[in-house]
Amino acid sequence: MNPLALTLNEQLMAQNPNLLDMMSDLGKNMYYPKGILTQSAEAKATDYNATIGMATNRDGMMYADTLYDMFNHLSPEEVFAYAPPQGLEALRDLWLKKVLADNPDLQAAQITRPIVTNALTHGLSLVGDMFVNPGDTVLLPAHTWGNYNLIYGVRHQANIQKYPIFDENGHYTTQGLVDTLQAVKQDKIILILNYPNNPTGYTPTVDEVRTIVEAVDELAKRGVNVITVVDDAYFGLFYEDVYTQSIFTALTNVNNPHILPIRLDGATKEFFAWGFRVGFITFGLSDAASKEIVEAKMKGLIRSNNSNGSTPSHSAVRYVLENPEQFNKDIQDNIDTLEARYHVTKEMVYKEAYQSLWQPYDFNSGYFMALRVKGIDAETLRKHLIDQYSIGIVALNNTDIRIAFSCIEKDDIPYVFEKIAQGIQDLQN
């Protein structure tokens, strides 16, 4: 083991041994090298800095004017320079401020400064690198985003175990998770919590969040290390009376040393900036030493993975956070549009005329909703709708389909569901 990694682990053993126990072999071996980036930082104030892989002249960085013309509000430094592995420091501070504003029950002392990731998938993969060994158990809801299986089941060779989040009538339930946690025999698990849920568009209520957190706490009190990974990709897109803070906040406030809350969020969905690939990873840790060690290891993982993120994207997100007045109005206008589509969708899917064709799953937030179709195969329906009605949906399994009302105009939603119903009838007959 590299001496730098060994030193970090020795510090963690003295300060937070549970956190060290949670780490994978890779996580324990990871460190941030004192290499080119460190030497470049130390040389930044020199008169002749010959350390970093960029080209400069007396005026600063070299760049192409035709490329720079694409960026109206950013300086050349904000466009062309390398970002550090952990992201632009100003952006990290601004996102921390946003996290605290969105989660009033959370204090800055309880969490790390957010580290910038290449959107949420990168953050989820980093969590796997840091904490998941082959054979570790990852708990996922039965209705889940398929990429979790690739990240944890394939890349990290974890044992994927799924629990139901809906009963036979399509109503959300916490009982499946509670029962699964009570039956845990391992000394460590990784629990993925994704709300608003993709693919069903459900966010728990205050009481349901309390039940989930109490079940996690009870498991941790048995001495089981519980790494709770909160995927908040669709955070803020709430259309009903739900728990509007992140469940990361409720888990962090438990303050149990056997629980490690980790939050993944970002500009992708919250800022309607999908291609920017700006995400964040935040840990529910309160002691300064653990924060520094986790950041050092995360920086090492990023440096050894994709080196650093996109400076123009980081700078653009920083710019709108520093100039929020019009930007916040633009975002709220988009959310209002989605909420209007949500209400029309809800009116359509619960019509009595359609109950012989499908069973809706509870939904109240996000981009999506899901249906259990009756008497036919979901994949067959998906192809039939493309061929006969020029409508695209996602088949989740043999019985369930996902519809993204986020990308259907409000006035077109009734037509789309009428044709989905017609397609089911075609196949039933």
Q: What is the pLDDT of residue 49?
A: 78
Task: Give the tokens for residue 114.
Answer: 């957010």
Which pLDDT score is estimated for 54? 78
**Amino acid 37: pLDDT:** 67
Q: Please report, for the chain, the start and end positions of each structural domain, with discontinuous segments joined by +.
A: 85-322, 342-428
- Residue pair 61/81 in contact (Cβ under 8 Å)? The answer is yes
Task: Tell me the C-alpha to C-alpha distance, in Å, between residue 44 and each of 33, 39, 49, 308.
Answer: 18, 9, 7, 18
Instruction: Quote the pLDDT of residue 36.
Output: 65
Strands (E), 312-391: 358-360, 368-373
Query: Rounded CA gap, 70 and 50, in Å?
Result: 29
Cβ-in-10-Å burial (0-12, 13-18, 19+) of 419 comes to: middle
CATH 1.20.120.160, applies to 85-322: no
What's the first-to-final CA gap in the chain, in angstroms?
A: 65
* Contact predicate 103/249, CB 8 Å: yes
Token digits for 197? Answer: 């849920």
Tens digit of each residue's pLDDT, the chain (429 residues)? 999 999 999 999 999 999 999 999 999 999 998 766 677 777 777 877 777 777 778 888 888 888 888 888 899 999 999 999 999 999 999 999 999 999 999 999 999 999 999 999 999 999 999 999 999 999 999 999 999 999 999 999 999 999 999 999 999 999 999 999 999 999 999 999 999 999 999 999 999 999 999 999 999 999 999 999 999 999 999 999 999 999 999 999 999 999 999 999 999 999 999 999 999 999 999 999 999 999 999 999 999 999 999 999 999 999 999 999 999 999 999 999 999 999 999 999 999 999 999 999 999 999 999 999 999 999 999 999 999 999 999 999 999 999 999 999 999 999 999 999 999 999 999
Helix (H) or strand (E) holding 162: strand 159-163
CATH number for the segment(s) 342-428: 3.90.1150.10
Number of H helices, E strands in the chain: 18, 13
